[in-house]
Structure 1
Amino acid sequence: MHQAEVLLVGGRAGVGETTVGREVSARPRAAMVAHCVIEGDFMGQAHPPRHSGQELGSELESELESSVRKARTQDERTPPDTVRVATDGRSVVGIAHEVLGATNWLPSTSG
């Protein structure tokens, strides 16, 4: 039996996890490597809800405050062996390349 592995892409609301997740999925798909992307933005469409929702109009301020609290909690509770990828000023392709480099899913993540 094969062992399942999970790659979690996380960050503050609106920083591009969805975009990076799509790009991370593109390379294994091109290499015919079986995988699945579960998009957190749609978890609110499950019942019972897993996600409180996206920032909408009058809810924007409270969503931003919630995002700051969640980021702080994430920083405090993230295991020390977690791979963190710097994203400022980088392309989505470059970020996805580094994220995939933390896995052994593809024969080579170079180039």
Structure 2
Amino acid sequence: MEKSTVSERNEVLFIGGRSGVGKTSLAAELHYQLSALRIKHAVIEGDNLDLAYPPPWKYGLAEQNLKSIWGNYRALGYRRLIYTNTVSVLHTGDLMRAIGEDSLANAVLLTASDGTARLRLEQREIGAGLETHLERSSQRAAELDERTPAWVNRICTDERPVQELAAEVLALLNWNETP
């Protein structure tokens, strides 16, 4: 079987970062800007691929679901994917196997101060989950800072409008043309 050409290869952007850093907002803005440019792409929110209790992480359910969902997009001709998940930048190998190993990977780790994350989470979370999110967000920030590979681009979101962040990420991707 012949290897796929660059134009047939998947191009994937992994967006990772602590809770409250702006992953979902950035993905939505990237979607808006790419749509305005008429660039074909898909967005998958990875946190929803294995959101269950008890957590099914040890079974690789997120990767299995990603493979299925991305396969559906691929069948329709999609080649560019924006994938958000808190720890996606730590698991790009497993995620790339689910997407298709003959893919081009880009990744950004979004960072934010504790104060920024707290403010955003206070605006977003209602009910009993706020304190849990704040605690986990702080723990994840330390873990991501320590374990994220050097090839991943780090972008601070403190006091930056999402449109500016999206423009910076699009410049990294060079997705201005149809593959």
Deviation at 1:16, TM superposition (A): 1.8
2:172 equivalent among 71, 78, 102: 102
Is residue 2:86 matched to residue 1:16?
Answer: no
Deviation at 1:48, TM superposition (A): 4.8
Unaligned runs of 5+ in 1: none
| TM-score, with structure 2 as normaliser | 0.50
SS in structure 2 of the partner of residue 81 of structure 1: coil
Higher helix share: 2
**Letter matched to residue 12 of structure 1:** R
For 2:28 and 2:172, how far apart are their aligned partners in 1?
Answer: 16
**Number of residue pairs matched by the alignment:** 104
For 2:129 and 2:38, how far apart are their aligned partners in 1?
Answer: 41
Please list the CA deviations of residues 2-58 of structure 1 after superposition, one character each: whole Å capped at 9, or x if unmatched.
11121112222122211111111122222222211112453327x95758xx95522
Residues 26/59 of structure 1: CA separation in 2 closer, same or farther (3 Å cut): closer
For 2:34 and 2:23, how far apart are their aligned partners in 1?
Answer: 17
| TM-score, with structure 1 as normaliser | 0.76
2:130 aligned partner:
60
SS in structure 1 of the partner of residue 156 of structure 2: coil
Q: How does 1:62-77 map to 2 (within 5 A)?
A: 62-77=132-147
**Letter matched to residue 143 of structure 2:** T
2:32 aligned partner:
26
Q: Which runs of 4+ in 1 moved over 3 A?
A: 40-43, 47-51
Instruction: Please say if residues 20 and 137 of structure 2, whose CA atoms lie closer than 8 Å, have aligned partners that are also in contact.
Output: no
2:12 aligned partner:
6
How many percent of aligned residue pairs carry the same amino acid?
A: 41
For 1:25 and 1:70, how far apart are their aligned partners in 2?
Answer: 26
For 1:91 and 1:63, how far apart are their aligned partners in 2?
Answer: 23
